[in-house]
A = this chain, B = another copy of it.
Amino acid sequence: MSLNSFGHLFRVTTWGESHGPAIGATVDGVPPGVPIDEAAIQRWLDRRKPGQNKYTTQRREADEVRILSGVFEGETTGTPVQLMIENTDQRSKDYGDIAQKFRPGHADITYFQKYGRRDYRGGGRSSARETASRVAAGGLARAALARLAPGLSIQGAMVQMGPHGIDPDRYDPAQIDANPFWCPDSQAAEHWAEYLDDLRKSGESVGAVIEVVARGVPVGLGAPVYGKLDTDLAAAMMSINAVKGVEIGEGMAAAALTGSANADEIFMGPEGPHYASNHAGGILGGISTGQDVVVRFAVKPTSSILTTRRTITVDGEETEIVTKGRHDPCVGIRAVPVGEAMMACVLLDHLLLHRGQVGDEGGVIG
């Protein structure tokens, strides 16, 4: 019921504000015997780290993770793992404007109205900085998955920047790590580079669509009818800052299909059932089918922009605001490793849940 936690058995609680001393993730329910060290988690944090190229915020954070508990002699012990990242580059000298004015499209106003106060420095708790904690927890989840579900892999990609989508026919997983946008279509990546450069110069921002695919997911994960795999994935992705929509498989487009078009026909192979298509995105009735689990989510454009917008002050005076500072023209870029981390956490959680509730009662076909 903890409001800053997610997961059932593998339970992650993130804490910390953008400009406080540190942020982190308290991870409970970690299975014992998972080989892990700081370097194994750092690897994923480095993917998300800001300031690595001109397309993300120029804030420079070392983002060095420390493991404070739950690991002994290079293995998890079954006790909570505390992952802490100190904030080093806060530059908290001057917050005058956002301390007094609410940015349109930002959580500034709702935090104030809800709690009667807010840590306005860098967005406080509502900052995208919180997602570093998720990525750290995701790194731990990946290590556990490597042990418990060896064939499983997770890869995120940006499939749309602003109005510009990729060409599905040019989708090449090998391209994803080869450009600053995690774009699987090399031509689109080139086009996006120009587009984002222009946006950045004009002080604007833009949204994006991220797709995360998990391959090698065991059959049977997900617990109907509310602890479904797709329910938990939808919640996990929607909980990321700035996300406004989540899709599984066909997603919103499923509405336009007929029953015969949408049905993924089933055949039998030497290793069990296989499917002629994957409209379902790897999930039927909330339970994994063994096909690729495919999730997409839309990230809205950052509200911290150089364009003047009308707003009000804490005292209710109408005014204008321009947000200077080191912001991401397309915060969706950094959302790719975050989406991957959430996928890892949810899959591990359901793997443990399934093992606990069902054990080896599952049905074998053929």
Contact = CB atoms under 8 A, between A and B. Distances in A.
A228 interface: yes
Interface in A248-294: 248-268, 272-273, 276, 279-281, 283-289
A119 B252 CA distance: 30
A110 B77 CA distance: 13
A352 to B, nearest CB: 5
A2 B28 contact: yes
A23 B82 CA distance: 9
B125 A79 contact: yes
Nearest to A86: B68
A357 B301 contact: no
Interface in A140-188: 148, 160-163
Interface in A1-50: 1-6, 8-9, 11, 13-17, 20-24, 26, 28-29, 31-33
A78 B359 CA distance: 11
Given A9-B1, A109-B289, A114-B287, A68 B264 contact: no
Given A16-B69, A110-B288, A301-B259, A32 B246 contact: no
A312 interface: yes
A163 B109 contact: no
Nearest to A297: B252
Q: Assembly of this chain: how many copies? A: 4
Contacts of A102: 266
Give the size range of A's interface with the partner: 35 or more
Interface string A119-143: 1000011100010000000000000
B24 A363 contact: no
A3 B17 contact: no
Contact of A5 (B112, B226, B228, B286): B226
A209 B250 CA distance: 13
A239 interface: yes
A264 B22 CA distance: 32
Contact of A267 (B9, B273, B305, B312): B312
A77 to B, nearest CB: 6
26 contacts: A1-B1, A5-B11, A9-B357, A15-B70, A17-B69, A24-B68, A24-B82, A79-B124, A105-B263, A106-B285, A113-B364, A162-B256, A204-B258, A206-B257, A207-B254, A209-B252, A231-B235, A231-B238, A238-B248, A244-B247, A244-B254, A244-B281, A259-B307, A261-B301, A265-B311, A356-B356
